[in-house]
Amino acid sequence: MIPTDLPLILSPEQLEAELDRPDIVLVDLCKPEVFAQAHLPRAVHLDYKQIVRVQKPVMGLLPPADDFAAVLATVGATPDKFIVAYDDEGGGRAARFLWTLDVAGHQHYALLDGGIHAWAAQNRPLTSETYAPAHGHYDVCFGEQGVADRDYILARLHDPAVQLLDTRTAEEYNGTKKLAQRAGHIPGAVNFNWTDALDLNNQLLLRDSTELRDTFNTLGITGDKEIIVYCQSHHRSAHTYILLKQLGYRRIRGYPGAWSDWGNQADTPIE
């Protein structure tokens, strides 16, 4: 039976208590060399390049549905599994995988808080053995839930019920660091560097949830609005998407392609 009482972001302690459940699928999105050295028992490695599509200069687009279905089959995922993802960078890659699951309509998933860093620092079980799960079967059909493309955003730029949240660095946001043909940010967007949600001095675990809610409220990220998160490709902002869901926000969308799409257009408005 799928565990439905678990939070969207699991502490290492919570996950360790569930490790023996046969209905849990563990997906590791660490660098290959990190995975080879040590990973969670029964975790299956997944290369980040397998879950995003590149159409240069645009990065981080949704993969073809059939390709993502094949990825899910490889890790042993089925619609009735509880999927837990983690990585070695604070959760960005893992969260992008989970966001894609969300867009595909998967109901049961979680992010490991702190990823492999917190897990290892707390001396929780690790292995270097390779685990080969039985192949699953998953018919993937991407819906509109959780997704905002360029046209969707352009149609809502002046809608007070919609708030854009730019999760890049301050330098990218204000245009002093240029990673596309044009620099700056989408008009009306507020800035929250995604790593500001992490306690960089404490195993990359999330900061206190009350502090995070207060920070978002100060920025105008409130529950009465639809929140659209973006970064350079919707890698970093996927982590903020999962975080906001955990904090109780219900109307959130991610922008696949993000600034690599918006900033490489000749006619999109920029601040």
Give 12-31 pLDDT, tens digit per residue. 999 999 999 999 999 999 99
pTM: 0.96
Does the pLDDT of residue 4 top 70, yes or no?
no
- How much of the chain exceeds pLDDT 90, in percent? 97
Q: Which residues contact 210 (CB under 8 A, 6 or more apart)?
A: none
Residues 50-75, mean pLDDT to the nearest whole number: 97
CA pair distance 251, 80, nearest whole angstrom:
24
234 close to 166: Cβ distance less than 8 angstroms: no
List the alpha helices (DSSP H) in 162-250.
170-174, 209-218, 236-246
**Which domains, and CATH codes, for the chain?**
9-121 (3.40.250.10), 150-262 (3.40.250.10)
Does the pLDDT of residue 251 top 90, yes or no?
yes
Does the pLDDT of residue 52 top 70, yes or no?
yes
pLDDT tens for each residue of 91-149: 999 999 999 999 999 999 999 999 999 999 999 999 999 999 989 899 999 999 999 99
By annotation, the residues acting in catalysis are 231
CA distances from 152 to 37, 38, 144, 199 (A): 43, 42, 11, 34
CA-closest candidate to residue 153, choices 32, 263, 11:
263
pLDDT tens for each residue of 160-193: 999 999 999 999 999 999 999 999 999 999 999 9
The 8-class DSSP code of residue 221 comes to: -
pLDDT at 136: 87
Does the pLDDT of residue 1 top 60, yes or no?
no
| Per-chain mean pLDDT for the chain | 96
Helix axes 209-218, 236-246, angle to 10 degrees: 110
Consecutive H or E run containing 36? helix 32-37
pLDDT tens for each residue of 77-105: 999 999 999 999 999 999 999 999 999 99
